[in-house]
Amino acid sequence: QGTRDHPPAQTVLRDRLLAAVVACFKRHGAAAIDTPALELRETLTGKYGEEAKLIYELQDQGGELLALRYDLTVPFARYLAMNKITNMKRYHIAKVYRRDNPATTRGRYREFYQCDFDIAGQFDPMIPDAECLKIVHEILSDLQLGDFLIKVNDRRILNGVFAICGIPESKFITTCSTVDKLDKLPWEEVKNEMVGEKGLSPEAVDRIGEYVQLHGGLELIERLLQDPKLSQNKLAKEGLGDMKLLFEYLTLFGITGKISFDLSLARGLDYYTGLIFEAVLLQQENDHVEEPVSVGSVAGGGRYDGLVGMFDPKGRKVPCVGVSIGIERIFSILEQRVKASGEKIRTTETQVLVATPHKHLLAARLKLISELWDAGIKAEMLYKKDPKLLKQLQYCEDTGIPLAAIVGEQELTDGVVKLRDVATREEVRM
């Protein structure tokens, strides 16, 4: 349940998509690593907040207690700490596992690919952070997925908001989780959850509501920097200062048009410590709809400066910022697009079929195809001793093989091959 086989046509399409993503990651100078799908259970413990219940655990069959990785970020942090690496730009494309309620039509699975790019190291503020947003912008533009919006926020700003609204610090993370639902639920419902389930005071929640419904650009940052209460909060002030710097850099990259500073963005995971962001595609089909509607997140990420330190025996920190591309949802969109276009995807790359026009020529076919393979030519033949020529040509048409190399008695005698263009039926002896 919640997993799927990829038949050849899907695999070809997915490989195309991943190639585009990898090209972007390489363009930004990242190296690839690979880590096991299995991690020690204790490695994953305490990293995912309320989502921890979705971790797949392995049966205790003796030996270490294991679990399947939930994302690629925690394994990356574990890798950095284990190898004492303090500086690295890496990408990683691999499957992750979540015991979630699958919604396969919307591209939500229990086993799915993640495509992560992360920058680890102590650097000047917001330069790597800006590059992560540039990468999201490049990939979504390259794939021509239509209009999109990248929402950005900062955990320090959110925590500052919570603090000045009177939320106790012990409830920051759980309040974050609830705020994060604002992209799916109206404010009233989110408010009810905060007051009912989370036990926050209605007055505090109303004050939060005034902030988290704000979104805008540089002018909003400036306004909040002047906010009498928020500007008194050390964390919020730092966050707003960095957000301003980020917008400066994004202006130089020329991408602020697709960026929205959005105080409702919270993201579910525990480990974020600074910038957080999420990219959504905007619906365009209905021209009569006044405002573009979000059709879900296709990329997300943020800064997690504390995670590597959790794996270091001495707690040495390595600041990190990264982005994860939501390849499954993008794949669903591309797949629908290919279906709609009627494009027939070839699932093999065979260049030539080795064929014979009459019986008792299996040996000739085997000899010729062997020569072609040894010359690096992609060649197939039918696995029959005496196939009909028509069947062989039909196979070319069915599978898109452009050429047939035909050897009959006459060709064998003359020491030639008849090369046939399957589409035009033109033949040359060579």
What residues from 70 to 129 belong to the interface with a copy of itself (CB under 8 A)?
A: 79, 82-83, 89-90, 95, 97, 99, 110-111, 119, 121, 123-124, 127-128
Radius of gyration of the chain (CA): 28
Region 305-334 residues binding a copy of itself, contact defined as CB under 8 A:
none
**Residue from 45, 46, 58, 197 binding a copy of itself (CB under 8 A):** 58
Q: For residue 3, state whether it binds a copy of itself (rule: CB under 8 A).
A: yes
Q: For residue 223, state whether it binds a copy of itself (rule: CB under 8 A).
A: no
Q: Going by DSSP bridges, is the β-strand pair 259-262/148-154 parallel, antiparallel, or unpaired? A: parallel
Question: Of the candidates 42, 119, 129, 115, which has an alpha carbon nearest to the alpha carbon of residue 87?
Answer: 119
Task: Output 121 or 309, the one with its CB closest to a copy of itself.
Answer: 121
Task: Output 144 or 170, the one with its CB closest to a copy of itself.
Answer: 144
Task: Output 220 or 362, the one with its CB closest to a copy of itself.
Answer: 362
Are 255 and 134 in contact by the 8 Å Cβ rule? The answer is: yes
Can you tell me the distance from the alpha carbon of 36 to that of 22, in angstroms, rounded to the nearest whole number?
A: 20
Q: For residue 428, state whether it binds a copy of itself (rule: CB under 8 A).
A: no
**Residue from 247, 249, 271, 304 binding a copy of itself (CB under 8 A):** 249
Region 13-52 residues binding a copy of itself, contact defined as CB under 8 A:
14-15, 26-38
Structure tokens at 349: 């790359």
Q: For residue 384, state whether it binds a copy of itself (rule: CB under 8 A).
A: yes
Q: Write each residue from 339 to 378 as x if it is in contact with a copy of itself (CB under 8 A), else as -, in one continuous string.
A: --------xxxx-----------xx--xx--x--xx-xxx
Instruction: List 421's β-bridge partners, or say none.
Output: 403
Task: Output 212 or 255, the one with its CB closest to a copy of itself.
Answer: 255
Question: Of the candidates 168, 35, 119, which has an alpha carbon nearest to the alpha carbon of residue 319?
Answer: 119
Residue owning tokens 């105080």: 263
Can you tell me the distance from the alpha carbon of 388 to that of 411, in angstroms, rounded to the nearest whole number?
A: 17
Question: Of the candidates 325, 298, 252, which has an alpha carbon nearest to the alpha carbon of residue 96?
Answer: 325
Provide, rounded to whole angstroms, the least separation between the CB of residue 190 and a copy of itself: 29
Are 154 and 243 in contact by the 8 Å Cβ rule? The answer is: yes
Region 262-301 residues binding a copy of itself, contact defined as CB under 8 A:
none
Annotated binding site: 71-73, 98, 114, 118, 267, 271-272
Question: Of the candidates 369, 303, 298, 388, which has an alpha carbon nearest to the alpha carbon of residue 130?
Answer: 303
